[in-house]
Structure 1
Amino acid sequence: MRPTEEINFSQDIVFRPLRNVCDAVYKRLHSKDIGVDTKATPLLSKNEEDILWERGILSLDNPTGLFNAVFFYNGKNFCLRGGAEHRNLRVSQLSRETNIIDGKEVSCYVYTEYGSKNNQGGLASLNQRNKTVKQYETDSERCHVKILDKYLEVLRCDTALENDAFYMQPNSEFSSGSSMPWFKKTPVGKNTLAVMIKKMCERAGISGGYTNHSLRAFGTTTLFHANVPEKLIQQRTGHQSLEALRQYERTSESQLLDISNVMTHGGKLPSTNVKKDASSANKPSTKLGVPQLPVPKNDSVTLLLSNCTFTGCSVTLSGQAMNQAPQKTIDEQKIFEETLKDINIDDVFDD
Structure 2
Amino acid sequence: MSNFRFGRNTPKEIDDSITNITPLNTKNSRNSIWRQFEKFCGERKYVFDGNTSTEKLAFILKDWGYNMKKVDGNDYKEAVIKTMWNVTAKQLQELYFNKFGIKFDPFVDLEFKGSRNARDAKRRNLQIQPEKRKTSSSILTLEEYNKILKIYNEDTPDGLQKMFFYVAGLELAWRGCEGVNVTIKHFKEESDNCGLPTGRIEYNCIFSKTAQGGSHKLTDSKWLATNTTDPRICPVRLYKKMLSKRGKHITTDRLFLTPNPAWREPSSVGWFKNSPVGRNEMGKWTRTAAEEIGIDIKKKKISNHSLRSTAVSQLAKAGVGEEQLIKITGHANTFSIKPYLQLDGDHHYQMIDKLRANSTAMEESNNKSTNCAPSALVQMSKNIVTTSPSTQTPVNYYNCDKSRRIVVVVKEKCPIDSSEECEWCASTAGECGYYAAAAAAASKRRRSTSSGEGRKRL
Interval containing the TM-score (normalised by the shorter chain): 0.5 to 0.7
For residue 113 of structure 1, the aligned residue among 188, 200, 205 is 205
Instruction: Say which SS state the counterpart of residue 266 (structure 1) adopts.
Output: helix
Contact 1:62 1:176 in 2 (8 A): no
Counterpart selection for 2:242 from 143, 151, 154: 151
- The answer as to whether partners of 2:149 and 2:166 remain within 8 angstroms in 1 is no
Instruction: Give TM-score, length-normalised by structure 2.
Output: 0.49
Change (3 A) 1:268 1:78: farther
2-side partners of 1:200 and 1:214: how far apart? Answer: 12
Query: Quick one: distance in 2 between partners of 1:206 and 1:189?
Result: 25
Which 5+ residue runs of structure 1 have no aligned equivalent? 270-351
1:92 aligns to 2:185 (yes or no): yes
- Asked if 1:14 corresponds to 2:108, the answer is no
- CA shift at 1:214, angstroms? 1.0
Tell me the C-alpha RMSD between the 2 structures.
3.4
TM-fit CA distance, 1:62: 1.6
Equivalent residues in 2 for 1:209-288 (5 A)?
A: 209-264=301-356, 266-267=358-359
* Residues 188 and 202, structure 2, Cα contact 8 Å, conserved in 1: yes
Matched, 1:136 2:230: no
Q: CA deviation at 1:129?
A: 3.5
Q: AA paired with 1:234? A: I
Say yes or no: does 1:46 pair with 2:155: no
Q: Once the 2 structures are TM-superposed, how far is the Cα of residue 137 of structure 1 from its aligned partner?
A: 0.4
Asked if the contact 2:153–2:159 (Cα under 8 Å) also holds between the matched residues in 1, the reply is yes
Query: In the TM superposition, what is the alpha-carbon distance from 1:24 to its structure 2 partner?
Result: 6.9
Within 2, Cα distance between the matches of 1:164 and 1:226?
36
Task: Return the match for 1:80 from 163, 174, 184.
Answer: 174
Give SS of 1:131's match: coil
Alpha-carbon distance, 1:119 to partner: 1.2
Name the structure 1 match of 2:273: 184
Shift of 1:263: 4.8
Q: Structure 2 vs 1, CA of residues 23 and 109 (structure 1 numbering), >3 Å: closer, same or farther? A: closer
- Provide, for residues 91-125 of structure 1, a one-character-per-residue CA deviation record: whole Å limited to 9, x for no partner: 1111122459xxx9740111012211111122x21
CA distance in 1 between counterparts of 2:329 and 2:255 reads 20
Higher relative contact order (CA 8 A, sep 6+): 1
Supply the distance in 2 between the matched residues of 1:145 and 1:63 (Cα, whole angstroms).
Answer: 17
Cα distance, 1:202 vs structure 2: 3.3
Cα pair 2:176 2:305 within 8 Å, conserved = yes
Q: Please point out which of 277, 289, 310 is paired with 1:200.
A: 289
Residues 27 and 105 of structure 1: CA distance in aligned 2, closer, same or farther (over 3 Å): closer
1:68: Cα distance to partner? 0.9
Percent identity, please. Answer: 23
Name structure 2 gaps, 5 residues minimum: 1-52, 55-95, 362-458
1: CA distance between counterparts of 2:188 and 2:179?
Answer: 17
* Structure 1 letter corresponding to 2:181: N
Query: Any conservation in 1 of the 2:212–2:218 contact (CA below 8 Å)?
Result: no
**1:69 and 2:163 matched:** yes
- Decide whether the 8 Å contact of 1:106 with 1:137 is kept in 2: no
Partner deviation per Cα, 1:34-65 (whole Å, 9 max, x = no partner): 789551222122122222233x2x33222111
Output one character per residue of 1:134-188: Cα deviation in whole Å (capped at 9) or x when no partner.
12101212111121122122223x554x213111122333349998722222222
Residue 166 of structure 1 aligns to a residue in which SS? coil
Q: Structure 1-normalised TM-score?
A: 0.63
